[in-house]
Amino acid sequence: MAISLSDLRTVRADKPPRVLIYGNEGVGKTTLASEFPNPVFLQAEEGTPGELELSSFGTLPTFGAVMEAMEALYNDEHDFNTVVVDSVTALQRLIFVETCRRGDEYGNAKARIEDFGYGKGYVNAKVVLREFLEGCDLLRRDRGMAIVLIAHSVVTTFNDPETASYDRYEIDLHKQLLGEVTRDLDAILLLKKPVKTEEEKKGFNGTRTRASGAATVVLMHPIGKPAFVAKNRYGMPESLRFDRGKGFEALAGYFPNWTETTATAKAAA
């Protein structure tokens, strides 16, 4: 059937958010994710903050186990509103192992992702990664679940052709997979403690730079800068303070109110 102007309709961002949270170790990534509504954790690595109690399938040792957990969340009855992957950095390792297990076009398994040669291993890994991302899309679309991905950070040198090179925080994922993960996300948040630098005198008229800052303050950065990767589709400010127990509260006003929509749909069913 041909499309006509009568098919035009008003659309808005009313689906659950897809968010990636990254930062240094111990900055509060898992804690912030746990504050999202009714979260369930897919843990690809060990390590849970001591003060938290999480709904989790336990450490998932293989890519197949991750997909089985997602299938259970899709098919079984539950009241979870958010699925948290902790972490996609560790999931990447499982994806590489699964890619090697499946092997090349002839079915020959490989010991390492580099053994495929000429970058073919990373191309094959994208196929495996897309299976996971499609699972996330199904949970979001059909089960009304928000998607929260936790990632580690890494500091790299960025070679800008218009300026001198500089260091920046980036998401700890291989460059061949990074774009696949981040392309459709609604928000990428860097969690980081603010740092102030001061110059102090050192012997023989020398100086040195010292870093200082409030150790208990953590900021959520949803807008990218030369120093780090970040983005959002919700009109968030440059930074938001992350106080433990109130992190999601600081973000919630910018997100679609998907939990009420999901509850209404479940009640109608």
Beta carbons of 241 and 191 less than 8 angstroms apart: no
Beta carbons of 214 and 194 less than 8 angstroms apart: yes
pLDDT at residue number 206: 57
Cα maximum dimension of the chain: 82
**Mean pLDDT, all residues of the chain:** 88
Residue 260 has pLDDT above 70, yes or no: no
**pLDDT one-digit tens code per residue, 176-226:** 999 999 999 999 999 998 876 555 555 555 555 554 555 678 999 999 999
CA distance 98 to 4: 46
DSSP per residue over 3-57, as a string?
--GGG-------SPPEEEEEESTTSSHHHHHHTSSSEEEEESS----TT----EE
**pLDDT one-digit tens code per residue, 62-72:** 999 999 999 99
Q: Which domains does the chain have, with CATH numbers?
A: 14-255 (3.40.50)
CA distance 86 to 89: 8
Tokens of 41: 């954790």
Write the CB contacts of 111 (distance below 8 Å, at least 6 apart in sequence). 100
pTM of the model: 0.87
Tokens of 127: 């196929």
pLDDT at residue number 216: 75
